[in-house]
Chain A
Amino acid sequence: MTYERSAAEDLLYREAWCLDNKCWEDWLALYTEDAVYWAPAMDGDEGWTDDPDKDVSLMYMDKAGLEARIFRIEGHDSYATDPLPHTAHLVTNVLVHGEQDGLTRVTATWMVRTYARVRGGSVRGGLYEYGLRETADGLRIATKKIFIHDDRIVGPIDVYNV
């Protein structure tokens, strides 16, 4: 079934809220157990890599990988993520494209403003492609693909700031 845009928007906004408010367990719960989280790398000036088994991605993770990212943050032992910057996700232009391979395809545009005292503010942006699936717990994220438009990246890229 294909969802109304409002249902998809609720889920995407909730994900942004969880990340910006550092509610990590709630954030992880938005993903299905078989979730795939993928930020392809750039290939040339206009393209992105498209085969995670043959090309390098910026991030390509299953749910265990996402949980490990939270473990890393909460351990307070990573120089890059302690102290953790403030983030503000702006998620907009949400569109539902119908169903494919049992998932509801949703796209959106994002900008994240990150602020850390040590390096000040920065803004990055790009596009999201989601595959959403209805579960017993409600609508959940089965796939998320993040196109990060920024090159010559300043500061770390991690799940909390894209």
Chain B
Amino acid sequence: MTSAQELVDDREGENIFRVHRSAFTDPAIFDQEMAEIFGRTWLYLCHESQIAKHGDYVATQIGTQPVFVIRGSDDDIRCFYDVCSHRGSRLTGRTSGSAKTLTCRYHGWCFNAEGACTLVRGGDEAYRPEDLDRMDTNLRPIEKFGSYKGFLFGCLDADAPPLDEFLGGAMPFIDLMTDQAPDGMEILRGESRYMMEANWKLQTENSTDGYHVATVHRNFATTVGYRETLAPEGDSGMAKTEASRILSLEKINSGGYDVGNGHMINWADRGNPEAGPSWPQREALLQRYPAGKVKWMLERGRTVTVFPNLLLNDVASSCIRVWRPISAELTEIETWCIAPKNEAPEARRARIRKYEDFFFPASLAVPDDVRAMEGAQIGSEALEDGWNDLALGHKTLVDGADDAAKELGVTPLNSNPGREVETPFFAFWREWVARLTP
């Protein structure tokens, strides 16, 4: 079998970085990924605002394992395998819900929101006390569970490093989103789950790919631009989009970073930052944070791609996207709109409309991305010796921080000016190789 190492042709001294396309198609590689990446790394589960009250839960998956996150009577949040300790039925019957007692629908065993078994139906008659001790009827917590600024992560490897250590260089960029929200952030109502007939890593690349914006999303820009000519009065103020920037021939101050552990940043100065929903908070933010950080918050659109399958997008609107591998050729994608609590109604409305414009499977952008990635999947099946060359931007890559990173006071592993670069992908692929190499 081909090893992951053989699939990534990474020759730093020779300015060569290529990925063999069978990385997107080989079922044996997929099985390794599920075991070594999705079975062992920290993965995003949900946001704490989705489980605000005792008993609120969200059911999801970590790799192939069903899990659920639930708030207990003590206000602590826990994550359990979503499996009845009796005969393995999935306990939650919904993608999200509220239950201070979870009752297994199969045989009626009950569990409280702290995971303790509270009823073995008929147990007193059928079991000796030592039987129940031996069986350990309580729910099994997942191996590691943690929160960073309200974003909840889980990990099935008991020996994994702490969450903060894993997030590492991505944390200052996550803070740029959360620090806009003095009262915390919340996930808005309105879900979207869609399927992509392509490998999950194509979505990881696409999430931080500034190079496709001017081609795949040219249509988004012209369409939204056309719409603004129809309703100029309706698309003023915060409703005004920044789409025209996609077509701009002017050089936009922008860049890409490798911030370590497989995490990637892509950013670009916003064309019209005063139309942003958080712009009215600018003065208040300047009281609290250095000017360089506030500039990053409000005047720079950012995509933060956390290894292996999470995107925090803070551009014209704000989006969380998670992509879960089903097979080498099929991926489930889920997105949520996240916003500061107690946002003014006008800002909230503008944020929502811009989210719908871009981030949903019914939007003017995501369907084109999905089609592009599905096209890449078909093409990846084609050649025995097909390689994706990712050297775009190699010429301008610099070690450490560029000027923009210095404004934020962070030091990426490397920086690259310009959004049309592929060098941030090196972060992902090097981490991918490391995790798949015994």
Q: Which residues of A contact B (CB under 8 A)?
A: 39-45, 49, 52-60, 62, 64-65, 67-69, 71-72, 75, 77-81, 118-119, 151-158
Contacts and interface: CB of A to CB of B under 8 A. Distances in A.
A78 B215 CA distance: 10
Nearest to A80: B367
Interface string B75-96: 0000000000000000000111
Contacts of B218: 77
29 contacts: A41-B191, A43-B189, A44-B95, A44-B96, A45-B94, A45-B95, A45-B96, A45-B97, A49-B189, A54-B352, A56-B337, A56-B360, A57-B352, A58-B356, A62-B231, A64-B231, A68-B230, A72-B219, A75-B223, A77-B222, A78-B367, A81-B367, A152-B332, A153-B361, A154-B197, A156-B361, A156-B370, A156-B371, A157-B367
Contact of A57 (B96, B190, B234, B374): B190
B375 interface: yes
Q: Top 7 A-B pairs ranked by shortest CB distance?
A: A56-B190, A156-B367, A80-B367, A41-B190, A68-B227, A157-B362, A64-B230
Given A56-B352, A64-B234, A153-B194, A80 B370 contact: yes
A96 B165 CA distance: 61
Contacts of B391: none
B372 interface: yes
Interface in B181-197: 188-195, 197
Nearest to B187: A56
A153 B195 contact: yes
Contacts of B360: 41, 56, 58-59, 157
Contacts of B105: none
Contacts of A39: 362
Given A79-B375, A80-B368, A41 B227 contact: no
Interface in B351-378: 352-353, 355-356, 360-362, 364, 367-368, 370-372, 374-375
B226 interface: yes
A127 B28 CA distance: 43
Given A43-B190, A152-B193, 14 more contacts: A41-B190, A56-B189, A56-B356, A57-B190, A57-B352, A58-B361, A71-B226, A75-B222, A79-B368, A80-B367, A80-B371, A155-B367, A157-B360, A158-B362
| Interface size bracket, B side | 35 or more
Contact of B368 (A49, A55, A62, A78): A78
A40 B362 CA distance: 11
B35 interface: no
Contacts of A49: 189-190
A57 B353 CA distance: 9
A40 B190 contact: yes
A53 B356 CA distance: 12
Nearest to A54: B348
B13 interface: no
A119 B330 CA distance: 13
Nearest to B231: A64
Nearest to A58: B362
Given A52-B352, A65-B227, A68-B227, A42 B191 contact: yes
Contacts of B191: 41-44
Given A153-B361, A157-B361, A56 B231 contact: no
A40 B190 CA distance: 8
B187 to A, nearest CB: 10
B406 interface: no
Which of A40, A153, A154 lies at the interface centre, i.e. has the most chain B CB atoms within 10 A of its CB?
A153
Contacts of A152: 193-195, 332
Contacts of A81: 367
A154 B234 contact: no
A79 B216 contact: yes
A157 B375 CA distance: 18
Contact of A72 (B192, B364, B371): B364
